[in-house]
């Protein structure tokens, strides 16, 4: 019964991982940033194969669990490159500079293969291998700590950058911090259990517990990953560097800032640019024939809002009469006023009014 349960859990994990790999691999052709996520599910698929190996090739079980250690160590560089790809302002692809990220798992793989194929070794060899293992795990822990610090510090900056350039929240990687921490925590628990199992031969976690952890992790990660999108995909920043340099340090006079603010208001009030769900700062700059830098200075210095918040406010104001009228559904109102999702409309509406659209309608627009 236990074996059957373990095989069912492993099969469920493989099915979920295989589905995610297929979807992400197809997206990788157009957007290479999806490749690390596909690799992450491939790692999950491999590492969760313990019950299958134990049932059909028990003589290879020890070697399999040793080979899972490099797979666990590969998770950190995979997550790191995925984060880099999803937050890159230019089209991301794997480059030679990413190769050092693979040092811990590559070294671990060599050490595992030596352990599998070298039957007997002198004491000096064993000492050297032990030192290399300690160094490899230490390097991986440092790499993991650095990745966590990088994610936690750069995500707020990245989200502010999106708000400064774009009018809708595509690619904000909501929940990325929690997902990354959950993956690394569960991964660390299983890694410790596997290392101890390889060293002592004893299992410190019940096999069914590990199988359930793999299934839960694959399912939750799949539900999150398949809905993510690189923030700058389809709208990568390609502003001329000479223009950026020209306006980078230019100050904006009060009168000029007010003129730009008036033109911004006209673009929203008369031209209704906020209805465009793909509206971005470069697109608005082209419409007004004003540099994006000057628009940003006006928004931040004169109006006191980011580009995202400014456009969102116009969208919410336009949606209020429709919400009160009750002739349309909430989703239709959201789409008609430039929002690309029901959830983003709800968040924006509540932030601007302090109420959900339904509450606003019930109270007759009284805030």
Give strand pairing partners of 166: 280
| pLDDT at residue 12 in the model | 94
Evaluate if pTM is beyond 0.75: no
Maximum Cα–Cα distance across the chain: 84
| Domains along the chain with CATH numbers | 2-225 (1.20.1070), 241-362 (1.10.10.60)
| Cβ neighbours for 143, distance < 8 A, ≥ 6 positions apart | 76, 77, 80, 101, 104
| pLDDT at residue 245 in the model | 42
| pLDDT at residue 180 in the model | 67
| pLDDT at residue 21 in the model | 95
| pLDDT at residue 239 in the model | 47
Low-confidence spans in the chain with pLDDT less than 50: 1, 239-249
What's the start-to-end Cα distance of the chain, in Å?
60
Question: What is the phi/psi pair of residue 166, to 5°?
Answer: -125, 155
């Amino acid at each position: 019964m236990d074996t059957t349960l373990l095989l069912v859990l492993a099969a469920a994990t493989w099915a979920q991982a295989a589905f995610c790999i297929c979807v992400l691999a197809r997206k990788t052709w157009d957007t290479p940033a999806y490749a690390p996520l596909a690799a992450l599910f491939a790692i999950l698929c491999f590492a969760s194969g313990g019950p299958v190996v134990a049932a059909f090739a028990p003589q290879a079980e020890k070697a399999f669990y040793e080979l899972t250690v490099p797979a666990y160590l590969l998770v950190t560089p995979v997550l790191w490159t995925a984060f880099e790809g999803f937050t890159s302002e230019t089209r991301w692809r794997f480059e030679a500079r990413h190769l050092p990220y693979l040092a811990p798992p590559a070294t671990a793989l060599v050490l595992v293969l030596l352990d599998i194929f070298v039957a007997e070794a002198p004491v000096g060899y064993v000492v050297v291998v032990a030192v290399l293992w300690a160094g490899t795990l230490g390097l991986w822990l440092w790499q993991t700590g650095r990745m966590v610090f990088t994610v936690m510090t750069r995500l707020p900056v990245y989200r502010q950058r999106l708000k400064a350039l774009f009018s809708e929240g595509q690619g904000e990687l909501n929940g990325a911090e929690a997902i990354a921490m959950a993956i690394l925590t569960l991964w660390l628990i299983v890694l410790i259990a596997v290392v101890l199992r390889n060293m002592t031969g004893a299992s410190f976690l019940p096999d069914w517990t590990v199988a359930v952890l793999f299934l839960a992790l694959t399912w939750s990660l799949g539900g999150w990953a398949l809905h993510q999108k690189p923030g700058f995909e389809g709208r990568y920043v390609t502003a001329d560097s000479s223009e950026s340099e020209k306006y980078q340090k230019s100050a904006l006079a009060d009168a000029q800032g007010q003129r730009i603010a008036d033109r911004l208001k006209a673009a929203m009030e008369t031209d209704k640019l906020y209805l465009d769900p793909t509206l971005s700062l470069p697109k608005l700059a082209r419409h007004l024939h004003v540099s994006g830098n000057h628009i940003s200075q006006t928004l931040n210095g004169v109006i006191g809002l980011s580009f995202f918040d400014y456009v969102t406010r116009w969208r919410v104001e336009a949606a209020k009469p429709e919400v009160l009228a009750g002739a349309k559904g909430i989703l239709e109102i959201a789409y008609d006023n430039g929002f690309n999702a029901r959830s983003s409309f709800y968040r924006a509406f509540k932030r601007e009014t302090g109420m959900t659209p339904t509450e606003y309608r019930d109270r007759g627009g009284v805030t």
